[in-house]
Structure formats: structure tokens, C-alpha cells
Amino acid sequence: MAELSDPTVVLHIGAVKTGTSFIQNVLSTNPAALADQGVLWPGQTWRDQVQAVHGLRGHGGVAFERWTSLVDQIDGWAGPRAIVSMEFLSLMSQQAVDTAMRTLASHRVRVVLTVRDIARALPAQWQESVQNGLSWSYPDYVADVTARKPKGSRAGRHFWNKQDWPTILSQWTTHLPADDLIVVTVPPQGAPPGLLWERFCLAAGLAPAAFDTSAKVNESLGAASAEVMRYVMLQAGQSLEGVDETSHPLKQTLKQTLAKQILSSHKSAEPVLVLPPQQHEWAARESRQLVEALRSLPITVIGDLDDLLPTFAAPKGPTTTDPGTLDSDTLLAAAAHGLIGLAESRARGRRQQSR
């Protein structure tokens, strides 16, 4: 992989559920380390990058100005590097990719795609989907994703549009050489905890040791909490599906407060959601095909493509392949934890207001 020349814009484009939130949190909480290395993390907050990518995906209109505003900030940066990290960049149309490259034409662009074996990505993506207002059961989701023609179903498209790495990368190959189209593999279970960050830094031209990596990560939910969230979202109604939580107070409370802040802390007391054993052969076969497709592309790999071949190593503690069949005590314990946490959050808010 060639050394980065100046100025370079690093676009970390995803994929979804591949450690992106961890990387974004480290970047967001280390402004001094970035400044010391001459790196711009554009926007007042990371939310500005989110809104900019939404505008780019819309191709035009007022929303597109959010993207051009971000580009203006990058254009005005005198340092050697700028980094944008937003996983929805991996969901763009070819038109949006072409537009992104046109607006960044005065810079060298390096695209970084983090990828994770699909046996771990599938349960992680389901539990994230229920936090976003979708209410399909885990067995139904698995059945549709693993069907012979998965993109014929909504759940199948939901998964594969986010995890079909060769298709995602193919939209950038006409614009970028192999040195600037980087795949970073998420290390397998049991790898040293800092390895993903080190791999990302190699791709982005950063010195990894300068950063505090103890930032809060986007913990997945335990199986019981995910099932509780599915039921809550089902009762809340389909009006929350696909709605940005920043513009919807109820969605904000349910996703960011109940799920991300409260239920995630109960994970260690719950069974871990895993891929059903009857789908292991499917996962192994699909993974081999994905890896072979990656090998045929003009890309640079940081890590090892064999990291993407699932090992099906059992996590510590109890597991489940269907959270809907968990006993009522386990589900009620998760629900009670959520209710108590919401009450405590409300009480803290009132105390702060009284001051």
C-alpha cells in the first residue's frame, strides 16, 4: 500500500455493524491527537457528517448543501488529511458516489471499508434493526436473509444491501486505484482488543498509539433486551420505522436512551444471540464466495481475508437462536431493567431542571 500523499480525504464508508461506532467514537473524542497529526475531523459534531451524507445521498436540493458545506470545510483545511466516517456512504447509488468524487476532485480520496464475518454480522444487524423501528422476529429475519433468493424479500435486502461488500466496492473502482480502495477486516473473536483500531489507522495514515481508545462503544443488546425492544417498537407503531431519531422525540428516547444507554448495560446478564447451527453451512459457503469476489477486485486488504471465514466459536455464557422463546423471567428482567433505567433518567432530568 502506497504512502498517503497530501492532501488526502479518507472516506470510511462502513460497512454497517463492523466496528464503525467504535472508530467514530475514538475519532470524535481525540481532537488533540488528530490536531497533532494535522488531521481534520470535519463538522462541529459527528452528527454534521451524518447529515452531510444524507444530503449527498439525496443528490440535490437544500439537503445537499450540508454535504457541500462539509466539503468547503475540507477544502479550507491546510493540513495533510481529513477523515469522514459514516456507514451510509456504503449505501449510496452510483450517482451519489460519482457526485462525491466530483466534489472532492481537488483531493486525493481514499475509501476504507471495514468488513466483518457474516455469521457475526447477521445477529448484530437484526438487533440494530429492531432499535430502528423494524419488528420482524429473529427467525423470520434469518430465514429471509438465508433464502435462495434473499433480495426478493425486504429482510433479505435489508441485510445484503449492507453486507454485499463486492457490490459496494464496485461503485468506487472506476474512480480509485487499488492503493486507495482499502478493505479492513474486523479481527476474529478473541483477537487483541486494539487490533481493529491499528488496522484502521494503517489505512487512514494515523499513528494509533496517540489515541485514547477507551471511548464508549456502541454495544449490541443482549438477546432478551433485543426482543423487548422489538415488542416495544411493534407497540409504538410503524410510524417510527426509518425515522431519524434526532427529529422524533419518542424515537430518540427509545433508541438512544432505552436501547443504547440502558438496555445495553444489561447485556452481560442475558443470553447472547447467535446464528442457528442449521445456518452454519450457509454462512461458510456465502463467506467463501464473498472472499473470492473480494480477491478478484483491485483493492488493498489490511488484515486477512480469512478473518471473514466464520469459525462459529461459542461465546462465553448462555446463547439463544430465538429470543422469542426465552422464558418470561428472562424477558421480564430485561424489561424491568429498562423501566427502572428510564425512571432514573427522568429523575436525573428533573433534578437538573430544579437546579
Average pLDDT by stretches of 10, the chain with 355 residues: 77 96 95 95 94 85 87 95 97 95 96 97 96 93 97 97 97 96 95 94 96 81 97 82 72 91 95 96 98 97 97 89 97 98 90 78
**From CA 136, how far away is CA 242, in angstroms rounded?**
14
Q: Which three cell numbers stand for residue 284?
A: 461458510
Domain that holds residue 175: 8-118+160-218+277-312
For the chain, what is the domain count?
1
Phi-psi category of 271—alpha, beta or left, where left has phi over 0 and alpha has psi -120 to 50? Answer: beta
3-state secondary structure of 6: coil
CA 267 to CA 334: how far, in whole Å? 9
Provide the residue type at 154 as one letter: R
pLDDT at residue 19, as a whole number? 94
For residue 137, is it within any domain?
no
CA atoms within 13 A on the CB side of 266: 25
Residues 6+ apart with CB under 8 A from 298: 173, 177, 178, 181
pTM to 2 decimal places: 0.93
Residue 11: phi and psi, rounded to 5, are -105, 105
pLDDT at 103: 96
CA distance 256 to 139: 25
d(CA 174, CA 168): 12
- Confirm whether 188 is domain-assigned: yes
Dihedral angle at the C-alpha atoms of 70, 71, 75, 78, nearest 10 degrees?
40
Positive or negative: CA dihedral 302, 308, 313, 317: positive
3-state DSSP call for residue 147?
coil
Supply the CATH number for residue 84's domain: 3.40.50
- Domain assignment present for residue 199? The answer is yes
| Dihedral class, residue 17 (left if φ above 0, else alpha if ψ from -120 to 50, else beta) | left
| Alpha carbons within 13 A on the beta-carbon side of 345 | 16
HSE-up (13 A, CA, CB side) for residue 177? 5
Residue in the structure block whose three cell numbers are 468524487: 101
Does a structural domain hold residue 248? no
Q: Is residue 74 part of a domain?
A: yes
Task: Identify the pLDDT of residue 294.
Answer: 97
Would 300 be classed as within a structural domain? yes
Residue 240 lies in a domain: no
Q: What pLDDT score does 155 carry? A: 97
For residue 325, being part of any structural domain is answered with: no
